[in-house]
Amino acid sequence: MVVGRWPADVLTAGYRPGTVRAISVHQDVLVATSEVWQTTCTAVRRGDEGFLIDSPVYPDELELLPTLLSQAGFPLSGLLATHGDWDHLLARLSFPDAALGCAETTAARLTAEPGAVQRELRAFDDEHYVERPRPLSLGQVQALPVPGHLEVGDAEIELHPADGHTADGMAMWIPWARVLVCGDYLSPVEIPMLSETGSRAAYLATLRRLEPLVDQASHVVPGHGAVMEGARAAAVLREDIAYLEGLPDAPLPLARRGPAQQAIHATNRERL
């Protein structure tokens, strides 16, 4: 672990304190990536206010988050989640007193499924022999109207509906940085995944809503995978639309054809 302020050029190139890989894509946007599933966690600030979107997964990564934000000079006003899947909700383990904001659809999902997030986390930990210092408590959950806006300093983050992967969710457009944080969409490492509550029609509608934002974006932060420049994200978006429209017999995108993606594809076909 490095003690002291991390230089901007080090953050831009990528730095790894412990097991947290962190890059700065804008002076106000910092992205950390988990070792598992390349799950992303995005810090955004404006003046003396800031939010942390989603979370890494492993305990040592979560333990390092407060140091990461402190050393990079990012304040924390609250936590945000793109959707209600458990691997995006773990930041409360790093910041147990912080309020969690999410779309109204996600808040309704969490209310309707009490304890589901904790059970899924325990199942993952049991399978992978992971020990955590404390159980997860989601604490105060604030339902945010989506579409809508969230004030941060003297600016606003735009909140856009993002359902289809699951029945809930939101994407966040950070206009002054031209950064789109889109949750489990536009992944360069994972094909579109239809969960039990997902929908191909809703997924396609989300991609088409995101398209004009991708066209404006300098960077796109997927829920899983490396941060992409806008042009690369636009190519992924086109591939994902073609894949979903071609189901059940669609070929997989060329760069996403490994065994894990073949398994997701088989599940997608069953869920149609």
Q: Can you name the residues that pair with 161 across neighbouring β-strands?
A: 170
Report pLDDT digits (tens) over 137-172. Answer: 998 899 999 999 999 999 999 999 999 999 999 999
Mean pLDDT of the chain: 91
Fill in the amino acid letter for 237: L
Do residues 179 and 222 touch, judged by C-beta distance below 8 A? no
Asked whether residue 3 is assigned to any structural domain, the reply reads: no
Do residues 169 and 162 touch, judged by C-beta distance below 8 A? yes
Taking the complete model, does pTM exceed 0.85, yes or no? yes
Mean pLDDT along residues 17-37 = 86
Asked whether residue 150 is assigned to any structural domain, the reply reads: yes
Q: What is the CATH number of the domain that holds 164?
A: 3.60.15.10
Distance between CA atoms of residues 202 and 126, nearest Å = 33
Dihedral angle sign, alpha carbons of residues 15, 96, 74, 179: positive
Number of residues assigned to the chain = 272
Asked whether residue 240 is assigned to any structural domain, the reply reads: yes
Asked whether residue 195 is assigned to any structural domain, the reply reads: yes
Distance between CA atoms of residues 59 and 10, nearest Å = 24
Asked whether residue 37 is assigned to any structural domain, the reply reads: yes
Number of domains in the chain: 1
Chain-centroid distance, C-alpha 232: 18
Distance between CA atoms of residues 247 and 157, nearest Å = 34
Do residues 83 and 117 touch, judged by C-beta distance below 8 A? no
Distance between CA atoms of residues 52 and 223, nearest Å = 13
Residues 6+ apart with CB under 8 A from 140: 99, 100
Asked whether residue 1 is assigned to any structural domain, the reply reads: no
The two structure tokens encoding residue 47: 């003046």
Residues 6+ apart with CB under 8 A from 202: 163, 164, 167
Report pLDDT digits (tens) over 32-82. Answer: 999 999 999 999 999 999 999 999 999 999 999 999 999 999 999 999 999
Asked whether residue 263 is assigned to any structural domain, the reply reads: yes
Asked whether residue 191 is assigned to any structural domain, the reply reads: yes
Q: How confident is the model at residue 20 (pLDDT cuts 50, 70, 90)?
A: low
For residues 81-100, one letter each, b for 16 or more C-beta atoms within 10 angstroms of the residue's C-beta and e for the rest, the string is: bbbbbbbbbbbbbbbeebeb
Return the ∠ at Cα 119 (arms to 117 and 120), rounded to 5°: 65
Count the neighbouring beta carbons within 10 Å of the beta carbon of residue 62: 22
Report pLDDT digits (tens) over 95-146. Answer: 999 999 999 999 999 999 999 999 999 999 999 999 999 999 998 899 999 9
Specify the pLDDT at position 7. 35
Collapsing DSSP states into helix, strand and coil, what is residue 198? Answer: coil
Domain that includes residue 222, residue range: 8-271
Place of tokens 């997030």: 117
